[in-house]
Chain A
Amino acid sequence: MLTLVAWPIWLTLNLSLHRVRLFDILRDRPIAFTTANYERLLGDARFWESLATTAIFVVGSVGLAILVGLASALLLERRFPCRGAVRLAVILPWAVPATIGSLVWMFLADGHLGLFNHILLSLGLITEPIAFLVHNEFAMVMVILAHAWHSYPFFTVMLLAALQAIPSELHEAARVDGATTLRRFWHITLPALRNTLVISGFLSVLAAIRDVETILVMTGGGPGRATETLAVRIWSESFRFYDIGFGAAQGCVAFLLSLLLMCFALRRLMRSFWG
């Protein structure tokens, strides 16, 4: 009974709160108008630019997060004093709201009072302060750094758990057989981490694609459009320029792209969902 009653209610609720609305918007508008949005989209150089920006941001930040996460997981798995406390400290960036993390990184990268400038100046690497967030190239580096700082603890936790599941006999047997550290990492550790890497990497890619907080707070998509990813562009098109139809058209494209990514990983995820 409960199943029969709660189910349709829930289905309606869930569906109505999610995917359907995307299409509702399109239905509310005359069809010709909708295609106009799409035609404009395809001919719009800014759209392709924002796709490229998204790709750079996602690959950069997720790649960096995976590297730091993997390195930290490998490191934290070793034995050393106060390991519990160190592990906790390393994943602490997770506890900072993304928006707030971005604010702190803005402060660090500030052109007048920022610490990065101070450090680079005192090391003699630069001769005068750089306003990082106002420079095309540096702004992208900064949003990538800020996003990676916030997202690497996820990989640390996931990979650490996966590392601890590797039987130590495997490593010992390989060591007896004369395998070097690098070879053991390549042939034992990495294959054992593959599933975890794929799933958490996939989730992080989706998170980076939809990230608006970091970029909107730090640069607002600028300078110019140097950090304007698709998600940021959808937002500013809709709520800064009030062209909701055009924003929604880009939303649909973004949805299709995410869907493609999803199909790629869905089988694996479904298995863990129903397994």
Chain B
Amino acid sequence: MRFAGQAGTAIAITLLLSTALFPIYWMVITALRPKSVTMVWPPQLLPDLNSLSLSTITTLLQDGPILGWAWNSLLIALMTTVAVVFVSTLAGYALSRAQGGAARGLGTVILVAKMLPSTLLVVPLYVMFHGAGLLGGPFAVVLANLAFAAPFATWMMKGFFDSIPTMIEEAALLDGCGHLGALRRVALPLALPGIAAVALYAFILAWNDFLFARTFLPGGANTTLTVGATQFLSETEMEWNRVMAVALLATLPVGAIFLWLQKHFVGNLTRGHN
């Protein structure tokens, strides 16, 4: 009975693991295979280790538009991160320290804004960016990402500031610090872990963004990696090894951050480990 239970668990875990990992495995393995293997039926599940190489990726990096796409992605993600951190820190601090009904009302507004689907933002933002002459440039995507990420980031920052006792700041105020000084010298250093979390959230969101970049950027050479990867599909006539190579490149930064930080943002996962 006990043995049967354990065997059942083992089978279930194997099933689960293959569901989770197989698509990722297939992406990596396809990206590392030459075209002569990936374009042939039937597909080979297990790779011939000798035929694996980085050649697809290096060729793409040399003569494709990939580097430009990656640069756009990076630029947009970094600018979004800075903007989101700036806005959400100030707003989160203000929300955390303010009292009364107005603060509650504003909190509700954030919460509602957080739940607004990004599709709904796209149309009005398009019109506004058109009016402001921002269409086609990275700033349009950055602003859209900011609009989408700021509410949740503010919510996160509010939580972090809530955990910092106001007494410390009051002491700074008594010693002659202004409000901004108290924020800069006392609250901000204490909230650094929160700021790091918000920065990561913003970076990942902006890096993964498809909709805004697809809508506000002209496409072709001037777009981001995530959008570029999908364009590539039609351009290369289903050369899957090249498509998967771009996909792999687009996954790597976020995947690396995820693995690096897994202990922090999925802390529950390893708790109770024995």
Interface residues of A, Cβ cutoff 8 Å to B: 1-3, 6-7, 10-11, 13-15, 17-19, 21-22, 24-25, 28, 68, 71-72, 75, 78-80, 83-84, 86-101, 103-108, 110, 112-115, 118, 121-122, 149, 153, 157, 160-161, 164, 206, 209-210, 212-213, 216-217, 231, 234-235, 238-239, 244, 247-248, 251, 254-255, 258-259, 262, 266, 269-270, 273-274
B222 at the interface (CB under 8 A from A): no
Q: Contact between A75 and B13 (Cβ–Cβ < 8 Å)?
A: yes
Question: What is the chain B residue whose CB lies nearest that of A237?
Answer: B123
Q: Show 29 A/B contacts (Cβ-Cβ < 8 Å), sorted by A.
A: A2-B183, A7-B106, A11-B106, A14-B151, A21-B124, A22-B124, A24-B128, A80-B10, A87-B269, A90-B16, A95-B251, A96-B251, A97-B226, A100-B226, A104-B26, A107-B240, A110-B238, A110-B240, A118-B43, A210-B118, A213-B211, A231-B117, A234-B119, A234-B120, A239-B122, A255-B116, A270-B111, A273-B107, A273-B111
Known contacts A3-B97, A118-B43, A270-B108; is A101 also within 8 Å of B23 by CB?
Answer: yes
Q: Contact between A95 and B258 (Cβ–Cβ < 8 Å)?
A: yes
Q: Contact between B112 and A108 (Cβ–Cβ < 8 Å)?
A: no
Q: Contact between B90 and A6 (Cβ–Cβ < 8 Å)?
A: yes
Interface residues of B, Cβ cutoff 8 Å to A: 9-10, 12-13, 16-17, 19-21, 23-24, 26-27, 30, 38-39, 41-43, 45, 87, 90-91, 93-94, 97-98, 104, 106-113, 115-128, 143, 146-147, 150-151, 154-155, 178-180, 183, 207-208, 210-211, 214-215, 226-227, 229-230, 233, 238, 240, 243-244, 247, 250-251, 254-255, 258-259, 262, 266, 268-274
Q: Contact between B244 and A118 (Cβ–Cβ < 8 Å)?
A: no
Known contacts A113-B39, A160-B269; is A89 also within 8 Å of B21 by CB?
Answer: yes
A129 to chain B, nearest CB (A): 9
Contacting residue for B17 out of A84, A89, A105, A269, CB 8 A:
A89
Q: Contact between B266 and A91 (Cβ–Cβ < 8 Å)?
A: yes
Q: Contact between B93 and A2 (Cβ–Cβ < 8 Å)?
A: yes
Number of A-B contacts (CB under 8 A): 260
Q: Contact between A212 and B229 (Cβ–Cβ < 8 Å)?
A: no
Q: Contact between A234 and B41 (Cβ–Cβ < 8 Å)?
A: no
Q: Given A7-B106, A13-B87, A14-B109, output 17 extra A-B contacts at Cβ < 8 Å.
A: A6-B94, A7-B98, A18-B121, A75-B12, A75-B13, A80-B13, A91-B269, A94-B258, A97-B254, A103-B230, A115-B26, A157-B269, A210-B120, A213-B211, A216-B210, A258-B116, A274-B107
Among A3, A217, A270, which residue has the most Cβ atoms of chain B within 10 A? A3
Known contacts A2-B179, A17-B147, A238-B123; is A115 also within 8 Å of B43 by CB?
Answer: yes
Cα–Cα, bound, A22→B112 (Å): 14
When distances are taken between beta carbons in the complex, the residues of chain B under 8 Å from A213 are: 210-211
When distances are taken between beta carbons in the complex, the residues of chain B under 8 Å from A105 are: 23
Query: Shortest 3 CB-CB distances between A and B: which pairs?
Result: A210-B117, A21-B124, A95-B258
Contacting residue for A212 out of B109, B119, B124, B146, CB 8 A:
B119
Q: Contact between A93 and B20 (Cβ–Cβ < 8 Å)?
A: yes
Q: Contact between A84 and B273 (Cβ–Cβ < 8 Å)?
A: yes
Q: Contact between B115 and A18 (Cβ–Cβ < 8 Å)?
A: no
Question: What is the chain A residue whose CB lies nearest that of B233?
Answer: A103
Cα–Cα, bound, A14→B125 (Å): 13
Q: Contact between A90 and B20 (Cβ–Cβ < 8 Å)?
A: yes
Cα–Cα, bound, A219→B151 (Å): 31
Q: Contact between A118 and B42 (Cβ–Cβ < 8 Å)?
A: yes
Contacting residue for A104 out of B17, B108, B244, B271, CB 8 A:
B244
Contacting residue for B19 out of A6, A17, A149, CB 8 A:
A149
Cα–Cα, bound, A274→B101 (Å): 12
Q: Contact between A262 and B273 (Cβ–Cβ < 8 Å)?
A: no
Q: Contact between B150 and A17 (Cβ–Cβ < 8 Å)?
A: yes
Known contacts A2-B180, A10-B90, A270-B111; is A25 also within 8 Å of B124 by CB?
Answer: yes
When distances are taken between beta carbons in the complex, the residues of chain A under 8 Å from B259 are: 88, 95
When distances are taken between beta carbons in the complex, the residues of chain B under 8 Å from A238 are: 122-123, 126
Known contacts A72-B16, A104-B27, A262-B115; is A28 also within 8 Å of B94 by CB?
Answer: no
When distances are taken between beta carbons in the complex, the residues of chain B under 8 Å from A115 are: 26, 43, 45
Contacting residue for A107 out of B26, B90, B262, CB 8 A:
B26
B224 to chain A, nearest CB (A): 10
Q: Contact between A97 and B208 (Cβ–Cβ < 8 Å)?
A: yes
Q: Contact between A17 and B146 (Cβ–Cβ < 8 Å)?
A: yes
Q: Contact between A18 and B147 (Cβ–Cβ < 8 Å)?
A: yes
Q: Contact between B255 and A96 (Cβ–Cβ < 8 Å)?
A: yes
Q: Contact between B210 and A99 (Cβ–Cβ < 8 Å)?
A: yes
A131 to chain B, nearest CB (A): 12
Cα–Cα, bound, A194→B217 (Å): 43
Cα–Cα, bound, A110→B17 (Å): 23
When distances are taken between beta carbons in the complex, the residues of chain B under 8 Å from A234 are: 119-120, 122-123
When distances are taken between beta carbons in the complex, the residues of chain B under 8 Å from A112 are: 41, 238
Cα–Cα, bound, A264→B117 (Å): 16
Q: Contact between A2 and B94 (Cβ–Cβ < 8 Å)?
A: yes
Cα–Cα, bound, A217→B246 (Å): 15
When distances are taken between beta carbons in the complex, the residues of chain A under 8 Å from B269 are: 84, 87-88, 91, 157, 160
